[in-house]
Amino acid sequence: MPTTSSLQIGADDLAFPRLNALSYWLYLFSGILVGVSFFQGSTFAGGWTMYAPLNTPAYIPGEGLGATSVVLALIMFTAAVTMGSVNFLTTMYRMRAEGLRMRDIPIFSLSINLTVWMMLFAFAALLAALMILASDHVIGTTYFQFANDGSTLGTSAENPGASLLWAHLFWFFGHPEVYIVFFPALGAMAEIFQTFTGRRLVGRKWFIISMVLVAIQSFIVWMHHMFLTGINLPIKTIFMATTIGISLPFDLMVFSLIYTMAKGRVRFKTPFLFSLGALLLFILGGITGVFLGAIVLDYQFRGTYWVVAHFHYVMFGGATALIGGLYYWYPKMTGKMYDEFLGKVHFATFFVGFNLLYFPMFIAWETPRRVFEYPADLQIWHNLSTVGGFILGASMLVMFYNLFVSIWRGEDAGESPWKYASTAEWAVGSPPKLENFPGLPSYASGSLEFLDDEEVAERTGKPPGAGVAADGGTASDGGTARNIRAVTAPATPTAAAHETGGEGHASHASFWPFLVSLGGFIAFLGLSGVRTGSPVYVGMAAVGGLATVGSLVGMTRESFHAPEMAIAERWPFEGVEKMKLGMWTFLASDVVLFGGFIGSYAFVRVAYGWSDWHHDLIPAEHVTMPGLINTYLLLTSSFLVVLAMVAAKREWRGATTASLAGTFALGVGFLVNKGIEWNHLFHIHSEMFPNGWTLSTNIGSSTFYLTTGLHGAHVVVGLVICGYMTIRAWNGAYQGDDKPIEYFGLYWHFVDIVWLFLFPLFYIL
C-alpha cells in the first residue's frame, strides 16, 4: 500500500522513513504479543467486540492474563497505525508530483488518503477505549464495572453507564473501521476497472465526492449497531437516516463502475475477474444491508446469521477486490507475471466457494450467532456453508502456490504488462528501484515526465549535484542529453545508472525503531501480569520500560535526515513544513484521544446523575486549589516557550536556555503539586471514604485519576523533550533556527489547552 500510493502520487519515499520503520516494528511486535496472549489464556474470551462488563477481570476465568495482553497488544497496534497515518497524510500533502492537485491523484491513492484520514480519528477513539480498558485490567480503575466491588450479581448499579460506554466507544471506532477496511478495496476496484475496461472512470468527480461523503458520514452512523440498547426514538431516527444516507453514495459508486465498462474493451484477466466478482458481491451485500437499515427488521436480525452473511458479502467482498489488486500489482512488485490460468482457476473456485459459504447464511438467517446449536431443518444450509468454507480456503492455496512459484518461473513483466494502465507506477521498472523514479516526477505539462538534475537545478536555482541529487533521489552521473524523459519513451540505459545512486537515497537503516518496539513488547507483556504480583512480570515491565525509554533517547540522538523533494505539489499545505504538518496531524488524533476520555467521563457521569455524582462520589478533601495552582503553572510555562522561540530567533543563547529551563521547572512543579494532591487523596480517612480515595474507590475517582493521569503522562513526555532541548540549547543549539522549539511548543500548548478543559470538568463542575 505505501509503495503503490507513493508511486502513484510521485513521491520518492514516505515523509518520515524512520517513523515508518517504527510503525512497522510496533505492528510486528503487537502481532507477536497477540500470539503470545493465546498461551496466557482468555484472549478475546468475550468475542472480538469485547462488550463490557464481560471484558473486565471480574468475568475473566482464572488469571486470564491473555485478555489483558491482547488489549495491550492492540494499544501497540494502534500506536503503529497512528504513526502510519501521520506519515501517510504528511506524504500525500507534501510530496505529490508537480501538477498533481489532490483531486488529480489516482483513485486508489485517493481512497488510501481517505482511509488514512478515517484511521487517524477512528483509531484514536479505539486507543481511548483500549487505554481505559487496560487501566481497568492493570491498575484497577472501574470504568467498565457496574458495581464498584466487582460483584457479578445484582441490580444496584454504582456505574450504570458501564456497559453502554464500551459499546459507544467501540462502535465509534468500529463503524468507520468498516470503511477503513473497505475503501482500499474500492480504490483498487476502480483502478483495475479503468485498466481492464480501457475506460476512464465514469463520473470520476462524483465518485470522489461520494467517497469523501462516506468518509465523513462514517463517524455519524455508529449507533445503528446499538438500536436495541434502549436509545430513544429521536436518536434512532437520526441514525437510521444517516445510515441510509451513507448507503446512497455507494449506489453511485456501483453505477459508476458499471458504466465504466460501457464502450470499453473489457479483458477478463484475473485482476478484473476478482474486481468484477467483488462488485457483484458488494451489490448483494448492499441490498441485504438495506434490510438492516429498516429498524423493525434490524431488531430481529440482531445477533443472527443475516448480519454475518451481510457483512461478509461487504467486507469479504472488499477482500475479493484486494486479491484482484494483489494480482494486478504482483508484476510490479516482483517483476514477474503470475500464471494466468491458475489465476482464473483461483477465481472460479474462490467465487463458487464464497457464495456457497455465505449465501446459505441468508436462508438460514434465524441461526443465532456464536451458538453451536441450530434447528435441525437448517442443517442442509449449514452443511453447504461448511463445504463452501473448505472450497474457499482451498482456492487460496492455489493463489499462494501461483504467486510463490511465479517469482522464479514467471515471465518478465517489464514496466507494464497491462494495456491501458495509466498511473505512474507502471512507468517505472518492475520491481521499482529504491528511489522509485528515474528523475523527479512532474505532471506540470499535463502528463508524467521525469525531470533530471539539470532541469531541477535550473528550476530551483540550486547547482546540480548539490543537494538536488539527494532531494530527487537521482544520481548525478545519470548524464543524459535530454533534460526531460517523457514516460512514453522506452526505458533508457540511464535507469541502470541509478542503481548505483550512492548517497542518493536516504538510508533507512536505523536500529532504534526495532529496539523501541522490542522494549515496548517486553514492557507490555510484563504489564499484563503485574496484577498477579509475579516478579517475572514486574521485572519484564520494568526492564521493557527502561529499554523503550533508552532506545527512544537513542533514536532522538541519532542523526537522521530525510530530505524533501525539491519540487512538489503541496496544496493546501505549501506554507506548513513537513515536521509541523506531521505534528499538527498527530495533535488532531490526540484531540480525539482526549475527546474519548472526556466524553467517557461525561457519559458515565450523566448515566449516574450529573449532580448526584459530586455528592456521592467525590470527597470533600478534593478541593479546587491544587488544580488552580496547576493551571497557573502550565499557562506560565507556555508563555516561556514563546519567549524561548523569540530568544532563539534573535540568537540569545542564554535567554533560550533560561526560558526552556523555566518551562521545564514549571512543568516539574505541576507534577510535584499533582503528586502531593494525589497522595493526600489516596490517604484520606473520612466517614464516606475510610480507606482513602483511590483509583478503585468508585467511578468518580477512576475518571478523575485516569483522565488527569493521561494528561500528566503527556506532561511527562513534554518534560523529557523539554529537558533534552534545554541541554542542547545550553550547548548552543537552535540559535537562529527556532523551528524545533516551535514544534515542541505546539505540543506543549496543546497539553495546556487540554488542561483548560480538564480543570473545570474535574475541579469545578
Q: Name which of residues 341 to 400 contact another protein (CB under 8 A).
A: 366, 368-373
Collapse the DSSP code of 271 into the 3-class scheme (helix H, G, I; strand E, B; otherwise coil) and give the result. helix
CB of 277 to another protein, least distance (A): 11
CA distance 91 to 16: 8
Toward another protein, which CB reaches closer, 207 or 755? 207
Site for another protein, residues 95 to 124, rule: CB under 8 A = 99-100, 104-107
CA distance 743 to 736: 15
Site for another protein, residues 152 to 191, rule: CB under 8 A = 152-155, 157, 159-164, 167
- Strands of the 484-486 sheet, one edge to the other: 440-442, 449-451, 484-486
CB of 55 to another protein, least distance (A): 9
Q: Are 444 and 97 in contact (CB under 8 A)?
A: no
Site for another protein, residues 244 to 263, rule: CB under 8 A = 244, 247-248, 251-252, 254-256, 258-263
Contacting residue, 443, 664, 704, 763, with another protein by CB under 8 A: 443
Place of cell 473545570: 760
CB of 207 to another protein, least distance (A): 8
C-alpha grid cell for residue 507? Answer: 538510508
Binding to another protein by CB under 8 A, coded x per residue (else -) over 629-648, reads --------------------
C-alpha grid cell for residue 434? Answer: 529504491
The pairing of beta strand 484-486 with beta strand 440-442: unpaired
Contacting residue, 63, 102, 140, 206, with another protein by CB under 8 A: 206
Toward another protein, which CB reaches closer, 40 or 416? 416
Contacting residue, 15, 21, 26, 52, with another protein by CB under 8 A: 52
CA distance 464 to 479: 11
Size of the site for another protein (CB under 8 A): 111
Q: Taking contact as CB under 8 A, which single stretch among the options 23-31, 311-319, 481-489, 689-697 is the one that binds another protein?
A: 481-489
Q: Are 208 and 275 in contact (CB under 8 A)?
A: no
Q: Taking contact as CB under 8 A, which single stretch among the options 415-423, 472-480, 536-544, 550-558 is the one that binds another protein?
A: 415-423
Distance between start and end Cα atoms, the chain: 47
Contacting residue, 35, 38, 200, 737, with another protein by CB under 8 A: 200
CA distance 708 to 598: 10
Toward another protein, which CB reaches closer, 297 or 397? 297
Toward another protein, which CB reaches closer, 173 or 762? 173
Under the binding rule (CB under 8 A), the answer on residue 51 touching another protein is yes
DSSP string, 665-727: HHHHHHHHHHHHHHHHHHT---SS-TT---TTT-HHHHHHHHHHHHHHHHHHHHHHHHHHHHH
CA distance 310 to 287: 9
Burial 96-132 (b: 16+ CB within 10 A, else e): bbbbbebeebbbbbbbbbbbbbbbbbbbbbbbbbbbb
Under the binding rule (CB under 8 A), the answer on residue 426 touching another protein is yes
Burial grade of 366 (CB within 10 A; 0-12, 13-18, 19 or more): middle
Site for another protein, residues 80 to 99, rule: CB under 8 A = 99
Contacting residue, 19, 202, 695, 758, with another protein by CB under 8 A: 202
Contacting residue, 139, 484, 487, 746, with another protein by CB under 8 A: 487
User: Any bridge partners for residue 336, and if so which?
Assistant: 412
Site for another protein, residues 273 to 332, rule: CB under 8 A = 276, 279-280, 283-284, 287-288, 290-291, 293-297, 299-300, 302-304
Under the binding rule (CB under 8 A), the answer on residue 420 touching another protein is yes
Under the binding rule (CB under 8 A), the answer on residue 47 touching another protein is yes
